[in-house]
Amino acid sequence: MSFTRGTVIKSFLWKWFERLSAQLIQFVVTIVLARLLLPSEYGIIALIAIFIQLCDVIIDGGLNTALIQKKNADNNDFSTIFFFSLGLSVVLYAIMFFCAPVIAHFYEQPELVPVVRVLSLSLPLYAFNSIQRAYVSKHMLFQRLFYSSLGAVVLSGAIGIFMAYHGYGVWALVGQNISSQLFTTIIMWFTVRWRPVLVFSKERFAGLFNYGWKIFGANFITSLFVNIRKLVIGKFYTPASLAYYEKGDQLPGLVMQNIFTSIQTILLPTFSEEQDDRKHVKAMMRRSTKLSCFVIYPLMVGMIVAAKPLVVFLLTEKWLPVVPFVQILCIANFFRPITISNWEAIKALGYSGTTLKLEIVKKVVDIVILCVTAFISVYAVAWGCVLFNLICVFINLAPNKKLLDYGVAEQVKDAVPTLLIALAMGVAVYWVQLLNIPNILILIIQLVLGATVYAGLSYAFKEESMMYILEMIKQNKSKIHLKR
pLDDT band per the 50, 70, 90 thresholds, residue 483: low
Classify the C-alpha dihedral 134-137-140-142 as positive or negative. positive
Of the candidate ranges 34-43, 336-345, 455-464, the one whose mean pLDDT is the lowest: 336-345
Please tell me the distance from the alpha carbon of residue 80 to that of residue 76, in angstroms, as a whole number: 6
- The pLDDT-based confidence of 466 (bands split at 50, 70, 90) is confident
Among 174-188, 302-316, 376-390, 456-470, which stretch is predicted with the lowest mean pLDDT?
456-470
* Helix axes of 239-273 and 39-60: crossing angle, nearest 10 degrees: 30
Q: How many residues does the chain have?
A: 484
- The percent of residues above 70 in pLDDT, for the chain, comes to 83
- Who contacts 82 (Cβ-Cβ below 8 Å, separation ≥6)? 131, 196
pLDDT value of residue 304 = 94
Mean pLDDT of 416-445: 90
The answer, yes or no, to whether residue 1 has pLDDT greater than 50, is no
240-279 confidence digits (pLDDT tens):
888 899 888 888 877 776 665 555 555 545 555 555 566 7
Confidence of residue 425 (pLDDT cuts 50, 70, 90): very high
Is the predicted pLDDT of residue 2 greater than 50, yes or no?
no
The model's confidence at residue 3, banded by pLDDT at 50, 70 and 90, is: very low
Look up residue 167 and give its DSSP letter. Answer: T
pLDDT digit string, tens, across residues 142-184: 666 777 778 888 999 999 999 999 989 899 999 999 999 899 8
Q: Which of 20-24, 121-125, 234-238, 362-366 has the highest mean pLDDT?
A: 121-125
Spatial separation of the C-alpha atoms in residues 182 and 171, rounded to whole Å: 16
482: pLDDT confidence band, cut at 50, 70 and 90?
low
| pLDDT (tens digit per residue) in 346-357 | 666 666 667 677
Q: Which residue has the higher pLDDT, 400 or 363?
A: 363
Closest CA to 84 of 120, 132, 119, 131: 131
- Kind plus residue range of the DSSP H or E element containing 407: none
- Check whether 478 has a pLDDT greater than 70: no
Average pLDDT over residues 436-456: 91
Which amino acid appears at position 199 of this protein? V
**Helix or strand or coil: residue 179?**
helix
Alpha-carbon distance of 234 to 102, in angstroms, equals 15
